[in-house]
Amino acid sequence: MAPAVHLRTAVALAGRFPALSGVDLSADPGEVVAVLGPNGAGKTSLLRTCAGLLAVTSGEAVVLGHDLRADRSEVRRHVGLLGHAAPLYDELTAAENVRFAVRAAGLPVARAEPALERLGLVGRLRRTTVGRLSAGQRRRVALAALVARGPALWLLDEPHAGLDAGARRLLAELVTEAAAGGATVLLSSHEPAVVTPLADQVVTMAGGRMAERAAGGRRALRAVGGGEEGGGGEEGGGGEEEVGGVTDVA
Amino acid sequence: MNPALRRGIGLAALASTAATVWLGLWVTPPSVQQGNLVRLVYLHPAIAWDALYVAFGLSAVCSLLYLWRRTRSLFWDRLAAASVEVGVVFNALTLVTGSIWGRPTWGVWWTWDARLTSTALLLVLFLGYLALRRVPAEPEVRARRCAVAALVAFVDVPIVHFSVNWWQTLHQNATVLNADLSPTIHGSMAWTLLLSFVALTLAFVWMVTVRYDIEVMRDQVGEEELEVSLAERWAEAQAAEPVMAGAGLPEGSAPPSPPTSGPAPLDPVLRPGEPAGSGR
Amino acid sequence: MWRDAVLVAGKDLRIEARSRVALWQVLPFAMLALVLFAFALGPGPDALRRAAPGLFWLAVLFSTVLATQRSYAVESGEGTRDGLRLSGLDPAGIFLGKAAAVFVQLALLEVVLWVGVTLLFGVRVHTTWLAVVACLLATVGLASAGVVYGALSAGLRVRETLLPLLVLPVVAPVLLAGSRAWSAAMSGAVASGVGWLRILAPFAVVYLAVGVALYGPLQEAA
């Protein structure tokens, strides 16, 4: 199966600065990749490059079958990017924002409702204009828009920052559901402990390129569950016992 | 641009301009109405033509070629920028020579006659392009932005001409003023006029090629700075590696990282729809 | 493309309805401009009435700059600019939607300004339809050119100072033709007035076409 994301020695520029100085990354559909690294390592730039926002000036970069060096605008409608700043209009309510995102993507507006409910944006919350919401709530609205659109590639930039434990659990669920549904998820974080269990692949960046690569917690979990896709692997919590000694996949 | 070619053009420009000056100032006769003042005809129309049609027209064509995917290349962008910059200079000179010509003829330094007005407006229009060009950005982004700006401005040029011309025809006194700037040309004056066009166009071309080369060199400096930045970035990566190797995970099929204390373990039996977070 | 345009226009107008910036800032600015013009030209009614067409359009031009700035300020948050590029909306549709929203705001503004000049400058329009058509055509051109230049300067920190420098020279013919058309409408000289419409119409068409064609590449350059 062709990889969803394929980067080889990709160099991407932000102005005159080489944000990515030679990145190698490969991710299959349905895979969750955690991107770790200190500030300034290039995690955000990696996600933005995959979204087609940064220009790749050398190397190979193919995302969802689109060559980013040839034309990076085509790939954008198939990805969902959740950055530090949420792409929300302050003067519109949560519901209106999600509906706009859905309709802009050419999807039926009915998809907005279930997403709003899933993220717990009901009642007063959905009627408040986004400018009045807290940062964590804004993040939830942005996530709802993402879930409603259901893109093939999810790019989450430090999604756990500022979320409480319950919200983090919900985020983990959403990520696993998305991956189970065939989407590829790249998420970046400062906290390895939080994202490693969710991920099939864990990569660490430094200075604009990959410094480390390892398997994540989810891969072990899925190997036990016996299937690449499908919900079976996730629910089989008891299966961890059989994997060599690593039982408490936190 | 081949330096020999450029030097050749430069010399040709110099020679033809010298010839024009000689012919214009000494050989050709003064006109009946304007006396010696008519000699400005060897400067002003040629400069105006170069600025308005050659320079801005060239920049519009280059911008189109840059935006069209099949011929996209920074060559067109740099040529357009060089063309506009020299064009703005020529444009300003047009206004100055026109003003110098006008003062003794009309008695005023400036008048709102159609041509002066549209020329002035075009000057401001393309100054905007230059202002936009100075905003720092990567070459491709800047090129695209400026190409669009040049096209949008150029599209306005005919509209400006028509509207200003019309505006002026409403004011009868303008036609009297207009007449004096277009003296009848014949004989040696005609040849000299033609030569002046050739001379000034050569000068224009020479200036554009020089400016283009400057632009290329500027971008090369930028490339070199980029190389330096890349090297620094890699050095950063090297410095970070030892730190990572210590705390990090070995390559390959090693077991996942041992759990650390902190957030509660992932509960695999979490029911969907469980209220997300205590909200607010 | 049209569906996207309606979506974007609806979004921009809804935001305006909630935030009321045009209502509380741009409109008062335009009225203020009229008052300042009166200060500049003196209280004598003749001078003001003769200058009125030009002053009306000057006020509209300055308001266009403000309205365009506002149209882009809506997307000035980091997230929203990326959001629009990633949304899957057709760039030409985004252009038309934004231009339509600016058009609506400017049109309403012109109605109020019309009332203003009638009261403050003692203007009497003889041939109303001429003035109305001139306003409509001119506003289409202004909105289109404004949105194009707004996009050009959208991401830039120097946007506030750059935008007027870029937009105003380009729309100068609109000021010219609009004022002449209005003054023809005031005096009833229909024939010459219609002649000026023949400048306003191509301007509008050209800039609409330019916007639709070039908005895609423009967005990339932001």
A204, β-bridge pairs: A36, A212
| Chain A contact set for B225 (CB, 8 A) | 16
Most confident of A212-221, C31-40, C138-147, C166-175: C138-147
* Mutation site for A-interface testing, chosen from C7, C8, C86, C94 by largest number of A Cβ within 10 Å: C86
Does A201 lie at the interface with B, CB-CB under 8 angstroms?
A: no
Q: How far apart are CA C164 and CA C66, in angstroms?
A: 9
Task: Specify if A245 maps to a domain.
Answer: no
Q: For residues C109 and B36, what is the distance between their CA atoms, to the nearest angstrom?
A: 55
On the CB side of A161, how many CA atoms lie within 13 Å of its CA?
A: 13
Using 70 as the pLDDT threshold, list the residues of chain A that sit under it.
Answer: 1, 15-16, 219-250
Question: Residue C141: its chain B contacts at CB < 8 A?
Answer: none
Identify the pLDDT of residue C141: 92
Q: Confirm or reject contact between A197 and chain B (CB < 8 A).
A: yes
Neighbours of chain C (3+ CB pairs under 8 A): A, B
Residues in Cβ contact with B170 at an 8 Å cutoff, skipping those fewer than 6 apart: C180, C192
Q: Read off the DSSP letter of residue A129.
A: B
* CA angle A204–A205–A210, rounded 5-degree value: 90
| Residue of B222, B137, B78, B153 whose CA lies nearest to C158 | B137
Residue C96: which pLDDT band, with cuts at 50, 70 and 90? Answer: very high
Rounded Cα distance between B109 and B99, Å, is 5
- Is A20 part of the contact surface with chain B (CB cutoff 8 Å)? no
Domain containing A17: what range? 5-227
- Inspect the interface and report whether the beta carbons of B249 and A214 lie closer than 8 Å: yes
- The answer to whether residue A69 sits within a structural domain is yes
pLDDT above 90: residue B8: no
Q: Is A145 on the interface with B (CB under 8 A)?
A: no
Task: List the single best residue of C61, C159, C166 to mutate versus B (max B Cβ within 10 A).
Answer: C166
Extents of the domains making up chain C: 2-220
By Cβ distance, the residue of B148, B156, B160 closest to C152 is B148
Residue of B206 and B36 predicted with greater confidence:
B206
The per-residue pLDDT for B33 is 65
pLDDT 10s digits, C148-160: 888 887 767 677 7
Name the β-bridge partners of A21.
A11
Percent pLDDT > 90 in chain B is: 0
| Number of domains present in the structure of chain A | 1
Indicate yes or no: CB of A193 within 8 angstroms of CB of B255.
no
**Would you state the pLDDT for residue B34?**
65
CA angle C203-C68-C112, nearest 5°? 85
Residues of C with CB under 8 A from a CB of B: 145, 148-149, 152-153, 156, 158, 162, 165-166, 169-170, 172-173, 176-177, 180, 192, 195-196, 199, 202-203, 206-207, 210, 214, 217-218, 220-221
Using CB atoms, which chains have 3+ pairs under 8 A with B?
A: A, C
pLDDT at residue A226, as a whole number: 44
Of B149, B153, B167, the CB nearest to C180: B167
Q: How far is A234 from chain C (nearest CA, A)?
A: 31
More confident residue, B243 or A152: A152
What's the confidence (pLDDT) of residue B275? 43
CATH number at A125 reads 3.40.50.300
Q: What is the mean pLDDT of residues C176-191?
A: 84
Q: Quick one: pLDDT at residue C140? A: 93
Question: Between the CA of residue B34 and those of A96, B184, B246, what are the distances in Å?
Answer: 72, 11, 89
Amino acid at C60: V
Lowest mean pLDDT: which of A10-19, A125-134, B169-178, C74-83? Answer: B169-178
The least confident of A152-156, B165-169, C92-96 is B165-169
Nearest-by-CA chain B residue for A176: B268
Residues of chain A in contact with residue C216, where contact means CB-CB under 8 angstroms, are 73
b/e burial code for range B211-243 (CB count within 10 A of at least 16 → b):
bbeebeeeeeeeeeebeebbeebbebbeebbee
The confidence score (pLDDT) of residue C142 equals: 93
Is there a contact between A172 and B268 if contact means CB atoms under 8 Å apart?
Answer: no
Chain CA centroid to CA C21, Å: 15
Are A88 and C18 a contacting pair at CB < 8 A? no
Nearest CA to CA, how far is A147 from chain B (Å)? 14
Separation between Cα atoms, residue B196 and residue B192, nearest integer Å:
6
Interface test with B, best of C81, C137, C142, C152 (most B CBs within 10 A): C152
Least confident of A210-219, B73-82, C199-208: A210-219
CB contact under 8 A, A89 and C74: yes
Q: Is residue A233 part of a domain?
A: no
CA distance B72 to chain A (A): 12
pTM: 0.75
Torsion, Cα B159 B76 B217 A12, to 10 degrees, reads: 110
Indicate the pairing of strand A201-206 with strand A32-36.
parallel
Mean pLDDT confidence for B170-184: 45
Which residues 130-159 of B have a C-beta within 8 angstroms of A?
A: 136-138, 140
Residue B32 has pLDDT above 70, yes or no: no
The two tokens of residue C220 are 């990339």
Confirm whether A62 is domain-assigned: yes
Determine, for residues C88 and A106 on separate chains, whether the beta-carbon distance falls below 8 Å: yes
Nearest CA in chain A to C83: A87
Span C78-88, average pLDDT: 77
Nearest by CB to A92, from C7, C14, C88: name it.
C14
Burial group, residue C25, by CB count within 10 angstroms (0-12, 13-18, 19+)? middle
Give the separation between CA A192 and CA B256, rounded to whole angstroms.
11
DSSP helix/strand/coil, A228 = coil
DSSP string, B55-123: IHHHHHHHHHHHHSGGG--HHHHHHHHHHHHHHHHHHHHHHHHHHHHHHHHHSSS----HHHHHHHHHH
For residue range B79-112, what is the model confidence (pLDDT) as tens digits? Answer: 899 999 888 888 888 888 878 877 777 777 777 7
Q: Given strand A209-215, what is the order of strands in its sheet?
A: A79-82, A153-157, A184-189, A32-36, A201-206, A209-215
- Assess A87–C contact: CB distance below 8 Å, yes or no: yes
Mutate to test the interface with B, among C214, C215, C219, C220 (most CBs of B within 10 A): C214
Least-confidence region, from A13-17, B176-180, C198-202: B176-180
Contact C82 A91 (CB under 8 A): no
Query: Could you tell me if B84 and B27 are in contact, meaning their C-beta atoms sit under 8 angstroms apart?
Result: no
Report the alpha-carbon distance of residue B194 to residue B270 in Å, rounded.
Answer: 88
**Contact status of C90 with chain A (Cβ, < 8 Å):** no
Interface contact A100-C7, CB threshold 8 A: yes
| Most confident stretch, B77-81, C47-51, C195-199 | B77-81
Is residue A243 a part of any domain in this protein?
A: no
Return the pLDDT at B250.
43
pLDDT for A189: 87
